[in-house]
Amino acid sequence: MSKNSSNIMALAPNTSNKRETVCIFGTGDFGRALGHKMIQAGYPVVFGSRSTQTSSLIPKDAEVLSHAEAAQKAAIIIIAIQRQHYNFLTSLAEILHGKVLVDVSNNLKINQYPESNAEYLAQLVPGAKVVKAFNTVSAWALQSGTLDASRQVFVCGDDMEAKQMVMDIVRALGLTPLDQGSLLAAQEIENYPLRLFPMWKFPILLSLGLAAFFFFYCLTRDVIYPYVYENKNFLFFIAISIPNRICPILALILLALVYLPGVLAAIIQLYRGTKSRRFPDWLDKWMLCRKQLGLVALAFASLHVLYTLVIPIRLFVRWRISSRIISQALNNKTEPLNNTNAWLSDSYLALGILGFFLFVLLGITSLPSVSNNVNWREFRFVQSKLGYLTLILCTAHTLVYGGNRFLSPSSYRWYLPNAYMLSLIVPCIVLVVKFVLIFPCLDKPLTRIRQGWERNPQHSE
């Protein structure tokens, strides 16, 4: 009983109102913002500064002392100073001995220095316990209270007790500490705020490349060809018609590219007979950005929906319909309803609507706030089963759109097939290979491999 109650005591938050004094070196933007937030949370704050004169910018409940005097007043010292000014800390080594030094610094470039700023600080003041924290939170966010985007505070350090003390402060400020391990992790934590959408680079570059290719492809087929052969000027197609061709093509190809790495990984695992060997680097990177690829695909699909909605109000479309009616009236001949075409048209639209609906559902479930509320099996069900169903529906939507135009010679201008035909290549490959992989003769060994079975255990790395 006493053992349990002591565990409960250890887990319970410190409910005492009395907070330990915290010292902050540096009265710059970040030091002041953090100091202000700490005072609000009930911490007595003392600043260590080169100048002991207080200014109106410094929180009025805080003391400003010399570095040495301020350091003596607290067990935790937050170093809110740029790394290049750390040298003066060596002269305070004796006072800082045994204290917890919190390194909050960031750099201007990724891997700017051979060692992280926190490790550098630990070298300068070897007797102190250095903890890295707060560098991913901005002074502006602390001041304005708009912390929605960056509530997470990565914390690392070699001394568990020191790290725990810093994490308690982080929690008291209403932030979420994330323990990243020892001080070795500091380099990565310092690089984190300097990254520019690392997972989005490949999907965005790929979609820009594909968009450029399909733009010139459609321009050649739909604008230059009629101009050369029929002297028709369809340059205005670049405003709506061509984007409305490119968007669904990109959406379909990118969606297929979300599922292609999974299929390739399955083939590699079957070939190797083990799951314990690493995939090639390019495949690893590709797998890691599947969510971003899917979201870019969804963005193109949404644009396609918008472009499609304006079709009836386009002047060109209204002109084409009215001239067809006038020509029927002049020839005193009405075109009977072609039932097959009506079926094809309605099925094509229905498949598109259902495909887009599932696409949106996939996008919503990939949002962290939603995916955090489903278990692993539910997440896999949505992303894999519903994902493949979306791919099937969208591919069918494109196939039915093609209808019997695939074989018509007029679909080939300068031997170039219609652009949507090209968009079917990757999705069809993915679906056919996936279909083959679900045959029991392949699915069973693959499942066993994924459960840890190895064909040649001695060859695995």
Contact residues toward ligand NAP (CB under 6 A) are 26-31, 49-51, 80-82, 85, 88, 104-106, 135, 138-139
- Compute the least distance from the CB of residue 79 to ligand NAP, in Å: 8
Q: How far is the CB of 395 from ligand NAP (least distance, A)?
A: 47
> Of 25 and 202, which CB lies nearer to ligand NAP in the complex structure?
25
Q: Whole-number minimum distance, CB 53 to ligand NAP, in Å?
A: 10
CB nearer to ligand NAP: pick between 140 and 216: 140
Residue nearest to ligand NAP (CB): 28
Beta-bridge partners for 30? none
Beta carbon nearer to ligand NAP, 40 or 82: 82
Written as six digits, the tokens of 229 are 């052969």
Neighbours of 309 (CB within 10 A): 9
Of 144 and 323, nearer to ligand NAP (C-beta) is 144
Residues 6 or more apart whose CB falls under 8 angstroms from that of 454 comprise 273, 274, 276, 460
How far apart are CB 80 and ligand NAP at their closest, in Å? 4
How many other β-carbons are positioned within 10 Å of the β-carbon of residue 418?
Answer: 21
Bridge partner list, 346: none
Cβ contacts of 90 within 8 Å, gap of 6 or more: 124, 125
Q: How far is the CB of 43 from ligand NAP (least distance, A)?
A: 18
How far is it, in rounded angstroms, from Cα 185 to Cα 163? Answer: 13
Six token digits for residue 71: 């350091």
Instruction: Considering the complex, state which of residue 116 and residue 244 has its C-beta at the smaller distance from ligand NAP.
Output: 116
Tokens of 31: 């030091």
CA pair distance 143, 41, nearest whole angstrom:
13
- Closest contact distance (angstroms) between CB of 160 and ligand NAP is 24
CA distance 384 to 292: 15
Looking at the Cβ atoms of 138 and 395, the one nearer to ligand NAP is 138
Residue closer to ligand NAP by CB (options 59, 427) is 59
With beta carbons less than 8 A apart as the criterion, state whether 101 and 90 touch.
Answer: no
* Residue (136 or 418) nearer to ligand NAP, CB: 136
Least distance between ligand NAP and beta carbon 201 (Å)? 24
First to last CA, the chain: 48
43 versus 420: smaller Cβ distance to ligand NAP: 43
- With beta carbons less than 8 A apart as the criterion, state whether 181 and 157 touch: no
Distance in angstroms (rounded) separating the CA atoms of residues 256 and 388: 9
Least separation in angstroms between residue 65's CB and ligand NAP is 11
Q: Closer to ligand NAP at the Cβ: 82 or 308?
A: 82
Tell me how far apart the alpha carbons of residues 93 and 249 are, in angstroms, rounded to a whole number: 64
| Residue 181 CB, nearest approach to ligand NAP (Å) | 20
What phi and psi, each to the nearest 5 degrees, are found at residue 366? Answer: -85, -10
Output the smallest distance, CB 258 to ligand NAP, in A: 35
Assigned token pair, 168: 């308690």
Whole-angstrom CA distances from 137 to 145, 153, 189, 192, 392 are 11, 7, 12, 11, 43
Q: What are phi and psi of 47, to 5 degrees?
A: -95, 140
Tell me the helices (H) and strands (E) count for the chain, helix number first: 21, 8
